[in-house]
Chain A
């Protein structure tokens, strides 16, 4: 177990180094001189020189690369160029906001998609099955942007069922008042692909020999579907859900922008607008590392879900 974890952590190293190199090449070599970007805000050439020195920009590129490595290793990404707020503090403030929305979407999506997938997989080939699958194809094709624009206008503005946009400092108010509409709109887009995928997982399990055996030995339909089939289908479903976890921290850029939700997604969009490179670099690299840690945890979870799995 420990050997497995150590080996996996060592395997992460090349990818993280690659991500660092990619970001470095993008922002430090192609991104242009940040002093030129800052010059719009600051006039004094001496100050610019001071900023360049403090960012290490007067150093040759290998020193700059080393500085970036050091930032990643120490998790100290310096300050934002525009607000001068420490980037780590910024992430700590913004990520929970995104998660308030995304965690609900993630859980509800799983709940709705798994129960619907069980229902349609059980009746596969029937009219209900084909109708739901058809709706899924159509729902998947329509852009999230349209759901957001129309949903905000009709449900928020016209019918006044939800606030059009906004966010507060109170967690409860956010969940009760501001989150429901964004959550609903995100679900409208996310349920269809998950449902289609989960249905195929469950259909595959229902075709297995063990399902027939379970029926043959007289297990009730409920027992067959929920104990035998669902237990086995959990593994691919969990994998798919785990793949979405990094997204939970970043949030949905579109939703956060349209509904003025001060999450990490909105912060990224704003940083890109302002060419605030330290923020983009820091958030991206943190998400990369987070994704890999989560993948590791998921692999460990497999062991719990499926005792047949051997960790190599």
Chain B
């Protein structure tokens, strides 16, 4: 067997994988992305950040590194006043006091110990920013991935049909493409969002339904190129159906382009989700995403509570930069002839 493999030249995917792995930058990016995906998955399964919505610390607990913040009392003195006999006489609840105290004992009170500091600090209502940012990563990455899958699926099917058949059907799809690209992207997204309403599912649908045009263009031109190639003609000669030629013969030959497009779309859609959520048309406020976290940050900054912004900015930028660089490397590995811009 070993003598065999030495002679056989590696397949396309294996060769591309090797090219990708040989690059240190790509390996580094891949490692960072793997960490994010594991965290997002763990959070989806409920192993991590399950209690992100619970108060675990005092309001705006500082990061451990910064140390405990002096609770700001705005110069007011807090005094506990014990009511005297005269005040008690005026209080209509005085006769029931013993009864009320006894009744209150029936309810067990749990003493919640609120932390003064957390590794990454806490937000206004004392939620741990560490868990919050993981939960937000789960939402943002899920939205980015699913929206990219949807848009690439739509784009690929339209592109394949338009490119393969051409004719009237192709013209109709070209017309649809020209309509979708005739308006600025953000306007199109907002038009869809205003009709479909908010929610995580709708954000995925909105981004998917509006973002397919790039994939469509790419796949269509590839199908036009491939449909007259010899292997497709050979497939026709043995009586392969159109669907078989489109999806079993041609599709594998353009799948590397689809993968690059998918990777590109994930980055773009995560960025779009962040902006949509910030503007108030994305993920609802009860859920959490990176965009919502940044939205919360603006009034905090004025009070000098910078840690939520620092965390979300670092986490988000690292992910987006790593994914962007990885996409570039992926394109180089899968499509060596394409010139890079």
Contacts and interface: CB of A to CB of B under 8 A. Distances in A.
B320 A19 contact: no
Interface in B184-208: 184, 186-188, 190-196
Interface stretch (B2-10, B174-182, B256-264): B174-182
A27 interface: yes
A30 B279 contact: no
A275 interface: yes
Given A18-B178, A280-B194, A268 B309 contact: no
A144 B179 CA distance: 27
A247 B184 contact: yes
A143 B309 contact: no
B108 to A, nearest CB: 43
Contacts of B294: 145-146, 149
Nearest to B319: A141
A166 interface: no
B186 A253 contact: yes
B182 A19 contact: yes
Contact of B182 (A247, A254, A280, A292): A292
A287 B321 contact: no
B341 A197 contact: yes
B274 interface: yes
Nearest to A26: B195
B178 A15 contact: yes
Given A150-B309, A287-B184, A272 B281 contact: yes
Contacts of A291: 182-184
Given A272-B193, A284-B191, A138 B182 contact: no
Contact of B321 (A16, A142, A253): A142
Interface string B253-280: 0000000000000010001001100111
Contact of A141 (B186, B278, B280, B320): B320
Interface residues of A, number: 49
B279 A253 contact: yes
A268 B321 CA distance: 30
A288 B183 CA distance: 5
Nearest to B186: A253
A19 B183 contact: yes
Interface stretch (B112-120, B156-164, B226-234, B296-304): B296-304
A15 B179 contact: yes
A4 interface: no
B221 interface: no
Nearest to B180: A22
A19 B187 CA distance: 12
B309 A254 contact: no
B176 A246 contact: no
A139 B180 CA distance: 28
A251 B267 CA distance: 23
7 contacts: A140-B324, A141-B321, A142-B321, A146-B317, A196-B341, A197-B341, A254-B278
Interface of A: 14-16, 18-19, 21-23, 26-27, 30-31, 137-138, 140-146, 149-150, 153, 157, 196-197, 200, 246-247, 250, 253-254, 257-258, 268-269, 271-273, 275, 277, 280, 283-284, 287-288, 291-292
List 9 tightest A-B contacts by C-beta distance, closest first: A18-B179, A272-B194, A141-B321, A141-B324, A153-B301, A288-B182, A31-B195, A15-B178, A141-B320
Given A26-B195, A272-B281, A287-B184, 7 more contacts: A19-B179, A22-B180, A23-B191, A143-B275, A200-B341, A272-B191, A284-B183
